[in-house]
Amino acid sequence: MKTPEQCLDMKDIRSEIDRIDHNVITLLANRFAYVKAASKFKHNATEVQAKERFNSMLEQRKQWASELGLNGDIIKNLYSDLVRYFIDEELKHFNKKEQ
């Protein structure tokens, strides 16, 4: 792993960005495994959707992003899309469990 300052050319930069993106996607897959596992602790679709938790989580991610110098609104939107997808998938998993 090279720091941005250690990169000698665009090949190095792109290689490091690809490595980071792969790690991010791996972490998202791990997160999704927890989302699916959470369905066994929920008793109905309302608990799966957890709107209050969803909204507070988005605000927390926005704050974390801002603290790291990122655009909090962009990160909030990114997480909104991501978590809505995860909720839809969790609902599918939950509904299979109920059958």
Report residue 42 as tokens: 């929920």
The pLDDT tens digits for 34-93 are 988 888 898 888 888 999 999 999 999 999 999 999 999 999 999 999 999 999 988 887
Number of structural domains found in the chain: 1
Distance from C-alpha of 43 to C-alpha of 53, rounded to nearest angstrom: 16
Whether residue 1 is contained in a domain is answered as: no
User: Given this model, what pLDDT does residue 38 score?
Assistant: 86
Whether residue 86 is contained in a domain is answered as: yes
The pLDDT tens digits for 67-84 are 999 999 999 999 999 999
In the chain, the N- to C-terminal Cα span, in Å, equals: 47
- What residues make up the domain containing 19? 7-98
CB contact burial 53-64 (16+ within 10 A = b; e otherwise): eeeeebeebbee
Domain CATH number, residue 14: 1.20.59.10
CA atoms within 13 A on the CB side of 39: 18
Task: Please check the confidence at residue 12 and state whether its pLDDT lies above 90.
Answer: yes
Distance from C-alpha of 79 to C-alpha of 99, rounded to nearest angstrom: 30
pTM: 0.82
Distance from C-alpha of 61 to C-alpha of 55, rounded to nearest angstrom: 10
Contacts of residue 36, defined as CB under 8 A and 6 or more positions apart, other chains included, come to 89, 90, 93
Whether residue 93 is contained in a domain is answered as: yes
Whether residue 2 is contained in a domain is answered as: no
Whether residue 32 is contained in a domain is answered as: yes
Whether residue 61 is contained in a domain is answered as: yes
Whether residue 47 is contained in a domain is answered as: yes
